Structure 1
Amino acid sequence: MTPEAPTRTISVSGAGTAEAVPDLLTISVGVECRRDTVGAAYADAGAASAAVSDALRQHGVAGADIRTSGLNVRADLTWLEGEGQRVAGYVASSMLTVRLRELSAASASIAAVVDAGGNDVRLNGLELGFADEAAVKARAREAAWKDALRTAEQYASLASARLGAVVSVSEGPDLPAPVPLAGVQRAVSVEALNVEAGETGVSAGVRVVWELLD
């Protein structure tokens, strides 16, 4: 009995990206206080953090969207020639991760944060994204599938063959999305700070195995 010839297959990876205007801005807000005593540093950092949180709530940010993500108290050390390392004071710091769902009001909310925290506040960056990226992700997957199909069809043609049934499909690791077309424009006053949403990309990857027919 003649053994059956093994089924020929072709395995191809595809990548796709879809872009949309983001509807969620996540900011990292820090508070850092340097004082002569641990108690003073800790108390002032707590007061500044509370002031920042209150300012955010006054601008419509829900409590569920304000999260403490870091807390630290340390000695502020300095080196003096002939004396060695000395304690110059103490530093207390905390970090808040804040989700802003009204991008049109983001600039005003950030200005309120800076005003409430004063010289002790630190803005450590922002990230634009989506409250629910399912629809954008679906378009990215579709683009990845089409990319894989085009590549597979080309290889099949080069091999004088054609594609048969799909044998398997697996989602590959997401590729880095394009850098969001967004930015923070500096100005001479806090009130003039402007956050521009632009568009943010979501990526998807897929690996597909097809039968290869004569």
Structure 2
Amino acid sequence: MIKAEDSRERHQGRRGLLRLAALAIFLALLSSCQGERRTISVSGFGTVTFVPDTVSFTITVKNVSPTLEEATALTKEATQRVVELCKKYGIGDEDIVTSYANSGKEYANQYGEGEPKFLGYASTQSTAVSYQDLPKFEEFSRELLALEITSLHDLSFSHSKYSDYASEADMLALDDAKRAAEKIAARMKIGLGEVLSVASTGNSPGMEYGRGYETQLMAKDMGGGIALSPGILTATKRVDVVFGIR
């Protein structure tokens, strides 16, 4: 009799534990359902066009000489003349960035068939420049190309106030996303809630121009500078917005 009662009590205890476990699972599921939010995800796009006022480019100087000292000295002297000419045209130190001179042995046929031939010691140095007087660039580049430089390359255009245009494009993209969300909400007969997240992406501020070596050689052959025609640039932004639903 005692054994039967003990068995019945253990059975009832297990049933009680099962009820508690089931209740806990139900409450967890209920909480999860209540925590889910209905949302609308939309994308918007904004574009602002502008005329560039800045050209950026790189001047590279390279010399090969019998001695490393001579090659380095020639390269540094030519680079210094480039910097002096930049300052003559009103370019500030913050818009002239000169690398360290890179030196090493120079060979002919280094990667081809046959034995490489030692030519001497090479020294290379580059100067990155940003210039904001585009109408004078042809005259400026004519004087640059008259110096002992190896190449003028990596030309690109931008604007000194590009961040302002990019911000304006962001605002246009947000307006576009909001209109899209409102149209969806009106069509589905639902109300828009608060904004839950916003992510913005966009294009780069510059536009490449031509191929540096070809541009430089063509200008040297013609005995003139480089005539620029940058055209119109754009700042394009995309925003992804998530709205809650009321």
Length-normalised TM-score, structure 1: 0.81
Q: Which position in structure 2 is the counterpart of 1:28?
A: 58
Q: Residues of 2 paired with 1:137 and 1:83: CA distance?
A: 54
In the alignment, the residues of structure 2 paired with residue 40 and residue 130 of structure 1 have an alpha-carbon distance, to the nearest angstrom, of 40
Amino acid corresponding to residue 141 of structure 1 in structure 2: D
Structure 1 residues 131 and 93: CA distance shift in structure 2, 3 A:
same
Structure showing greater radius of gyration is 2
- Is 2:80 aligned against 1:73? no
Letter in 1 for 2:108: T
C-alpha separation in 1, matches of 2:153 and 2:170: 32
Q: Is the contact between residue 175 and residue 205 of structure 1 (CA under 8 Å) also seen in structure 2?
A: no
- Report the CA distance between 1:157 and its aligned residue: 4.9
Q: Alignment partner for residue 172 of structure 1, among 200, 204, 223?
A: 200
Name the counterpart of 1:93.
Answer: 124
Structure 2 residue aligned with 1:61? 91
Measured in 1, the distance between the counterparts of 2:53 and 2:164 equals: 13
Q: Establish whether residue 121 from structure 1 lines up as the match of residue 121 from structure 2.
A: no
Larger mean CA deviation between 22-31 and 137-146 belongs to 137-146
Alignment of 1:127-166 (within 5 A): 127-157=156-186, 160-166=188-194
Counting aligned pairs with the same residue, the percent is: 22
Per the TM alignment, residue 200 of structure 1 is displaced from its structure 2 partner at its CA by: 1.8
2:16 is matched with none
CA positional deviation for 1:64: 2.5
Task: Determine the structure 2 residue equivalent to 1:105.
Answer: 136
Q: Which secondary structure state, in structure 2, belongs to the residue aligned with residue 147 of structure 1?
A: helix
The counterpart of 1:41, out of the listed 47, 71, 75, is: 71
| Paired residue total | 208
1:70 Cα deviation after fit? 4.8
Per-residue CA deviations over 1:146-192 (Å, capped at 9, x if unaligned) read 3323433444355x234513322423232467x84966975552425
Structure 2: where are the runs of 5+ without partners?
1-29
Structure having the larger proportion of residues in helix? 2
Matched residues in 2 for 1:166 and 1:145: separation? 14
Contact 1:181 1:199 in 2 (8 A): no
Distance 1:167 1:79 in 2: 63
Q: In the alignment, is the contact (CA less than 8 A) between 2:170 and 2:200 conserved in 1?
A: no
2:13 paired residue number? none
Question: C-alpha distance in 1, partners of 2:197/2:113?
Answer: 69
2:231 aligns to what SS in structure 1?
A: coil
> Matched residues in 1 for 2:67 and 2:156: separation?
35
SS in 2 for 1:96: strand
- Give the TM-score normalised by the residue count of structure 2: 0.71
- Give the counterpart letter for 2:189 in structure 1: A
Partner deviation per Cα, 1:83-119 (whole Å, 9 max, x = no partner) = 84442211111010111021111222222111122xx
